[in-house]
Amino acid sequence: MKRIVIKVGTSTLMYPNGKLNLQRIEKLAFVLTDLKNQGKEVILVSSGAIGVGCHRLNITKRPATIPEQQAIAAVGQSELMNLYSQFFGNYGQIVGQLLLTRDIIDYPKSRNNVINTFEQLLKQGIIPVVNENDTVAVEELDHLTKFGDNDRLSAIVSELVTADLLIMLSDIDGFYNDNPTTNPAATLFSDIHAITPELVILAGGNGSEFGTGGMATKLKAAHHVLEQNGQMILANGADPTIIFDIINGEQIGTHFRA
């Protein structure tokens, strides 16, 4: 396991009250920098631009119009990078920002340029921090510009860099046979080898207020990863040091592998 992509959702970076979870961001910076120091190549895919932007602008409810959301994302994205730059900087780690749009799927030239950027950053020991470019990717033009969600984006990034493992951190221990927040009797799948239509039904609808994905997008991402002969682990990001345990081979969360 040399090359690892880690995806964090808004629910990992922020408290449910919309404030920043500094403990988590701090631990994330510590863990990822330590992994890199161990000789791993680490890439972070991070949501949170809108959540952090709402926090910065004192907005409590996500506004309805797309221009308003994009303005918030523009503020939030630079705030988010500023946070990462500071927290990783405390451990001497440099980060680089990649804001992607769908053209990296549609245009081979763009795709190549992005791959080269990733490779060069990793060669220089820099941790790439990836997000969708929300100011360009408009919901209305979904099929043209938007990846759809960062779960999908993290699967595409894993493909671009031929990652050995995608670790997706969420607010839940893994994928269950029912939504455990509404059904306490739901049980965790520890290993999934193929994404069947039955599993997709169990994924239910969307998740948290600021997150956009829910389990459906995580299963689609897992499907993409499996198609590329990759592996994905879905685990709880409450304590980011869980990443050390995952890398050490402990059975944690839901492991998607063929």
- Per CB under 6 A, the list member of 34, 178, 239, 245 interacting with ligand ADP is 178
Tokens representing 114 are: 């992005």
Instruction: Identify whether the C-beta of residue 168 lies closer than 8 Å to the C-beta of residue 233.
Output: yes
Binding mask 182-211 for ligand ADP (x = CB under 6 A): --------------------xxx--xx--x
Q: Which is nearer to ligand ADP, 45 or 100 (CB)?
A: 45
Binding mask 9-38 for ligand ADP (x = CB under 6 A): xxxx--------------------------
What backbone phi and psi angles, to 5 degrees, belong to 252? -135, 140
Please count the residues of this chain forming the interface with ligand ADP, following the rule CB under 6 A. Answer: 22
Instruction: Identify whether the C-beta of residue 217 lies closer than 8 Å to the C-beta of residue 149.
Output: yes
- Per CB under 6 A, the list member of 171, 236, 238, 247 interacting with ligand ADP is 171
Query: Does 179 participate in binding ligand ADP (rule CB under 6 A)?
Result: yes
Amino acid at 230: G
Q: What residues pair up with 8 in beta bridges, in sequence order?
A: 46, 169
Q: Which is nearer to ligand ADP, 84 or 176 (CB)?
A: 176
The rounded distance, in Å, linking the Cα atoms of 212 and 132 is 13
> What three-state secondary structure class fits 6?
strand
- C-alpha distances in Å from residue 106, one per residue of 83, 103, 157: 32, 5, 14
Tokens representing 33 are: 């920098």
Q: Which stretch binds ligand ADP (CB under 6 A): 34-42, 64-72, 164-172, 239-247?
A: 164-172
- Per CB under 6 A, the list member of 18, 51, 128, 214 interacting with ligand ADP is 214
Query: Does 213 participate in binding ligand ADP (rule CB under 6 A)?
Result: yes
Query: Does 45 participate in binding ligand ADP (rule CB under 6 A)?
Result: no
